[in-house]
Structure 1
Amino acid sequence: MRIIFWAGFAAFILDQLSKYIVIHMMELSRIRVIDVLPPLINFRYGENRGINFGLFGDGSDASRWILIALACAICVGILVWAYRHTLGYWAKVSAGLLIGGALANVVDRLLYGYVLDFLNMSCCGINNPFVFNIADVFIFAGAIGLIFLTPDPRVSPRKSAKKGQ
């Protein structure tokens, strides 16, 4: 569980630090647009009141608290699941990244009422209108890691060793 904690802590801190630097110190909330490496990486100020791509973002206080409760429930569910299963190092890191990213977005909702987004990436003539944050990257990477790095419970180590012989 220590690996999950430290991976989650690192994801949480990196996200909150990046938001503080870009939104507040670089004053993106005032400037609204900073081209970093156009078109690949740009900073665009965004307030996400919903989930991915602004879905369910009606801006109501009830939806805000529902999304906070849902994110916390998912974090607890992943922790319980990870505790009950034998996971390898990278699966534990993945669980930590997902939890840390989700909790970083929860803190945004508690502090601001919405999630601060600032990253925009476009490429190859495709203009991407959506913005996201570092926590979203950690959530996505953690979920993909859990999908691909969690051992299949139907295959025991003994069975897989016999298959390879």
Structure 2
Amino acid sequence: MLYIVTLLILITDQLTKYYADKLLKGNAPYVIINGFLQFNYVENVGAAFGILKNKQLFFIILTFIVLIGMVLFMIKNKRLNIYMRWGLVLIIAGAIGNLIDRIRLGYVIDFIDVKFGSFYDYPVFNIADCAIVIGTILVSYLVLFDKYETTGSEW
């Protein structure tokens, strides 16, 4: 089941980026909810929030190392509960989605643009980023509260 979820996240991520490229690139943002949500094509040559711009080789190598480490961690630790496995799978799927862009294009396509009126304009992101953030929040919670291994009875 975890493999299927990984594949579904990858397909959804790559399809939405494909359509963002075809429909949004070179066009004005497509407003969904005025002052809150729009689709806006952005080529991100950095990491989260555009930091470390034009360091694609660094990000590719780092992503491979982290992915290998996470997969080995999951294989080696048979006591990880299903919630921890789901969190790690979300991170892995998102990382692979953005890695595909970095290798194929030299940048990551971002297109989901959330604003909170004139108060705050959140950096543009994509489906892979959503998976990474949700997975990271889940894994962080489980590690902080020591709930990442099976105990015979899941919480």
Question: What's 2:104 paired with?
Answer: 111
**Structure 2: gaps of 5 or more residues:** none
- How far apart are the structure 1 equivalents of 2:35 and 2:99? 29
Amino acid at match of 2:138: G
TM-score (norm 2): 0.85
State whether residues 63 and 99 of structure 2, in contact with CA within 8 Å, keep that contact through their aligned partners in structure 1: yes
Contact 1:6 1:96 in 2 (8 A): no
- CA displacement 1:27-67 (0-9 Å, x = unmatched): 2012141111122211111111111111000x2xxx21110
Query: For the structure 1 residues 80 and 43, does the alpha-carbon distance in structure 2 shift closer, same or farther, using more than 3 Å as the test?
Result: same
TM-score, length basis structure 1? 0.81
Match of 2:146 among 152, 155, 158: 152
Q: Which runs of 4+ in 1 moved over 4 A?
A: none
Q: CA deviation at 1:156?
A: 8.2
Decide which structure has the larger Cα Rg and report it.
1
Q: Which residue of 1 aligns with 2:13?
A: 15
Say what the alpha-carbon RMSD is for the aligned residues: 2.4
2:13, 2:97 within 8 Å by CA — same for their partners in 1?
yes
Letter in 2 for 1:118: F
Matched, 1:89 2:82: yes
Instruction: Give aligned-pair identity as a percent.
Output: 28
Q: Which has the higher helix share?
A: 1
The corresponding residue for 1:73 is 65
User: Letter of the aligned partner of 1:23 in structure 2?
Assistant: D
Distance 1:64 1:156, change over 3 A: closer
The alpha-carbon deviation at position 136 of structure 1 amounts to: 0.4
